Amino acid sequence: MIGLKDKYKDYFNIGAAVNCETVKADKDIIINNFNNITCENQMKFGVLYKEDETYDYSHADELYTFAKENGIRMRGHNFVWHNQTPFHIFKKSKEEVAEILKNHMICMNERYGDVVDCWDVINEGVEDKSSEFLRKSPWMDKFGDDYCKFVFKLAKDVLPSKVQLFYNDYNEYIPEKREKIITLIKHINAEEKLVDGIGMQCHVNLYYPTIDLVREAIELYASLGLRIHITEMDLSYFKFDDKQVLTKPDMRLQEMHAKVYGDYFALFREYKDYIDNVTLWGVSDRYTWLDYFPVENRKNWPLLFDTDGNPKESYYRVIDF
Ligand code: GLA
């Protein structure tokens, strides 16, 4: 059976989010199918930098070693986010926080730069609600309303030019949020190009969004001269506000899952000149964050490999072209 990465070698890299358990449980699936990985949590600033002001790189190191040993590249995820960030640093002055962030960027590049090609510099900076433009964040409280540009400039100054800098967000296909993301990126890039690419997270479900909305978003982002990475794709069986539980999806739903996955990848293939990477947010249905969100302990099956690690019909539809 051909691996995803080989089937897609003339299109884009194929990635998966991993953690220290999934690289063991799903090792062969990863090696055969993915040429790129993202640490699910292990490279996030708040996970690395502890309250006692020490850094713990052990889990990030483990995943980096796995990538290196298997010839797999990595996406760096992420530097600045309102979540999973070291909140304890914000009692320090603006200058001190800037220095800590700068040193963190330099250090991450020194440790992992030989396999990490890009970083999500800002994750989820834009607000979903219509009333606000930027999302509340301790980073904004510290550095002011223009913190996104400040952080991208910092990354640009301290990282080698070969490292691509990304802005990453979800609901990135919803027109209102999409327009805000575009306004933000245009503003950051106004004087010099700091943002190289957009990370379209693509946490989608069987019913929403439409492929046309995603197509429109891809076209608009590409028109800004940005590279595109699909960074966190998973295809949930449930609408976002649906609380129902399923023991197992029936054949009709499984068929829908396969069809929708096939449609998404066909769309991505059409835009291969702009898309460099398509990353799934997990490896197999053995483990997915969607088992815990938005409904705690409800099984979901959003990926291409099943709970036993076998390829699903959705997988076959993705390689059927
Ligand atoms: C967001 C973040 C990811 C991850 C997911 C949930 O999309 O960007 O790092 O935390 O939420 O797993």
Residues 93-135: tens digit of each pLDDT: 999 999 999 999 999 999 999 999 999 999 999 999 999 999 9
pLDDT digit string, tens, across residues 247-272: 999 999 999 999 999 999 999 999 99
Check pLDDT > 90 for residue 1. Answer: no
Query: For residue 121, is it left (φ>0), alpha (ψ between -120 and 50) or beta?
Result: alpha
pLDDT digit string, tens, across residues 127-177: 999 999 999 999 999 999 999 999 999 999 999 999 999 999 999 999 999
DSSP per residue over 109-163, as a string? HHHHTTTEEEEEEEES-B-SSTT-SBPP-HHHHHH-TTHHHHHHHHHHHHS-TTS
Average predicted confidence (pLDDT) for the chain: 98
In whole angstroms, give the CA distance from residue 162 to residue 155: 12
Q: What is the pLDDT of residue 205?
A: 98
Residues assigned a catalytic role? 124, 232
Instruction: Indicate which atom in ligand 1 lies nearest the CA of residue 44.
Output: 9
In whole angstroms, give the CA distance from residue 194 to residue 166: 9
Nearest to 80 by CA among 18, 135, 129: 135
Closest Cα to atom 12 of ligand 1:
289
Closest Cα to atom 8 of ligand 1:
123
Check pLDDT > 90 for residue 178. Answer: yes
Q: What is the pLDDT of residue 48?
A: 98
What's the CATH number where 28 sits? Answer: 3.20.20.80
182 band by pLDDT with thresholds 50, 70 and 90: very high
Query: How many C-beta atoms surround the C-beta of residue 190 within 10 A?
Result: 10
Nearest to 77 by CA among 53, 48, 114, 34: 48
pLDDT digit string, tens, across residues 259-309: 999 999 999 999 999 999 999 999 999 999 999 999 999 999 999 999 999
Ligand 1 centre to CA of 304 (Å) is: 19
Rounded to the nearest 10 degrees, the angle between the axes of helix 211-223 and helix 251-270 is 20
Ligand 1 centre to CA of 238 (Å) is: 18
Q: What is the pLDDT of residue 21?
A: 98
Instruction: Indicate which atom in ligand 1 lies nearest the CA of residue 81.
Output: 8
Q: What is the pLDDT of residue 27?
A: 98
Please give the residue range of the domain that contains residue 229: 4-319
Check pLDDT > 90 for residue 66. Answer: yes
- The amino acid at 228: I
Ligand 1 site: residues with CB under 6 angstroms? 77, 123, 170, 201, 232, 289
Whether residue 282 contacts residue 234, with contact meaning beta carbons closer than 8 Å, is answered with yes
Ligand 1 centre to CA of 1 (Å) is: 31
Closest Cα to atom 6 of ligand 1:
289
Ligand 1 centre to CA of 291 (Å) is: 14
Mean pLDDT of 54-65: 98
Overall number of domains in the chain? 1
Nearest to 41 by CA among 62, 17, 68: 17
Mean pLDDT of 61-72: 98
pLDDT digit string, tens, across residues 12-41: 999 999 999 999 999 999 999 999 999 999
Q: What is the pTM of this model?
A: 0.98
The encoded tokens of residue 250 equal 């029936």
Mutate to test the pocket of ligand 1, among 83, 84, 232, 303 (most ligand atoms within 8 A of CB): 232
pLDDT digit string, tens, across residues 194-228: 999 999 999 999 999 999 999 999 999 999 999 99
